Structure 1
Amino acid sequence: MLVEDIMKTEVIKLKPHETIETALKLLNQYHIRHIPIVDDQNQVIGIVSDRDVRDASPSIFYQDEDRSELQNTLETIMTTPVITVHPLDFVEETASIFYEQEIACVPVTKSNKLVGIVTEKDMLYTMIQLTGVHVQSSQIEIKVYDKPGILPEVTAVLGRRKVNITSVLVYPYQKDEKYKIIVFRVQTMNPNPIIEDLKAEGYEVLWPNLPGIET
């Protein structure tokens, strides 16, 4: 899946000379948490978060406090330089940027121009779709040797039951690097026959460990 498949293309943006008050109003009006700051060529030169604006605003607990701070320009509080991604970048790679850089939003640029935005909420929703947990299904976790061709071998066993596989995830088995864990989500509410088939073929099923089925 590509970034262009999940990004929002209608982006609220501001210029660096606009005020903190303007940003505050837009954040509240559109219920967003980040606003990219662009120059006259629509190039991203900074980004402002709701926290940046809150920290730069007078406290709500002091009604008589001077509110002239709200007239300061966004270039005084914006974060720069800005991490961006391209519409043709992979979603998985973008997710790693969120994790490694500890950020909650990335503008999307093409030819150095702002064309979209991806937030952590967009990313989380996409991960839910990729894992298949949003559809009615059963999860099966299998411990297998980490060797070429193991995935088609296992899926062939599932294929005998004519079930639809909604997602497949593979991750290392932490206790022994010679093994992998394959996680299937299959569109059936009764995974017992599949589990029996897998165990008959010698595979170790870690989940579900159902009563009455030998492990």
Structure 2
Amino acid sequence: MLVEEVMTREVISLPPNEKIETALRLLHQHHIRHIPIVNDDHEVIGIVSDRDVRDASPSIFEETAQPAELDKELKTIMSHPVITVHPLDFVEEVAGIFYEHEIACVPVTQNDKLIGIITEKDVLYTLIQLTGIHEQSSQIEIRVENKIGTLPKVTNVIGEYKLNISSVFIYPDQKDPSKKIIVFRIQTMNPMPVIQALNQKGYEVLWPNIPGITE
């Protein structure tokens, strides 16, 4: 899935010389956590998070706190340079960026102009959609040899039962590099016939692991 399919296009942005107070008001008003900072050409030059604003705001517990702190310009607290992504990047790549750089949001730019924003919540929701977990379905995990042609053989077994496959995920077996784990989500609430057929074909079903299913 591409970034342009899940990004928020109506982005609230501010110039670097705007006051911290303005950012604080917009964050609360629109229930957002990040505001990109742009120059006159609408190019992203920084980003401000709710934490940045909170840390720069006077504490309600300090009697000597000066409201003048909120009059400071955003360029004094913004993070820069900013990691950005392109609308044709894959959402999975954005998830990797979030993990690697320990961030929760990236602006989306095209021709160096801000056109959207994508957050960790957007990515998480997208991954949930990709797994098919939001549909009525059953999950089956099997361990297979890492050989060419294995996946279509397994899907043929499922196809014999006229069942739709909502999603397929494949990842390496941590215990045995020569094998893969295939996770299917199939549209049925009774996966027992499929599990029994997979076992009879010699596939190792890891989940659900039901004793006596092959009997």
Do the structures match in fold with TM over 0.5?
yes
Q: Which residue of 1 aligns with 2:116?
A: 116
How far off is 1:63 after superposition?
4.8
1:42 corresponding residue in structure 2: 42
Greater mean alpha carbon deviation, residues 59-68 or residues 44-53: 59-68
Distance 2:45 2:24 in 1: 19
Contact 2:141–2:208 under 8 Å retained in 1: yes
> What do the CA deviations read for 1:172-204 (whole angstroms, capped 9, x no partner)?
110010000000000100000000110111000
Tell me, in whole angstroms, the C-alpha distance in 2 between the residues paired with 1:128 and 1:81.
31
Q: Give the secondary structure class of the aligned counterpart of 1:162.
A: coil
Q: Deviations over 1:88-120 (max 9, x none)?
A: 001111111111111000000000000000000
When normalised by structure 1's length, the TM-score is: 0.98
Q: Which residue is 1:137 aligned to?
A: 137
Q: Which residue in 1 is equivalent to 2:82?
A: 82
Structure 2 gaps of 5+ residues are none
Question: After the TM superposition, which residues 1-215 of structure 1 pair with which residues of structure 2 at under 5 Å, given as runs?
Answer: 1-214=1-214
- The separation in 1 between residues aligned to 2:134 and 2:60, in whole angstroms, is 40
**Runs of 4+ with >2 A deviation:** none
Which stretch of structure 1 is more off in the superposition, 28-37 or 202-211?
A: 202-211
Deviations 1:11-37 (A, max 9, x none): 010000000000000000000000000
Aligned-residue identity in percent: 68
Deviations 1:109-141 (A, max 9, x none): 000000000000001000100111111110000
Unaligned runs of 5+ in 1: none
Q: Say what the alpha-carbon RMSD is for the aligned residues.
A: 1.0
Query: Tell me, what secondary structure is at the counterpart of 1:154?
Result: helix
Count the aligned residue pairs: 215
* Structure 1 CA distance for aligned equivalents of residues 141 and 176 of structure 2: 16
CA distance in 2, matches of 1:65, 1:102: 31
The CA deviation string for residues 8-63 of structure 1, in whole angstroms up to 9 with x for no partner, is 00001000000000000000000000000000000000000000000001001235
Offset of residue 214 of structure 1: 3.9
Q: CA deviation at 1:64?
A: 4.8
- Determine the C-alpha separation between the residues in 1 that align with 2:172 and 2:103: 26
TM-score by length of 2: 0.98
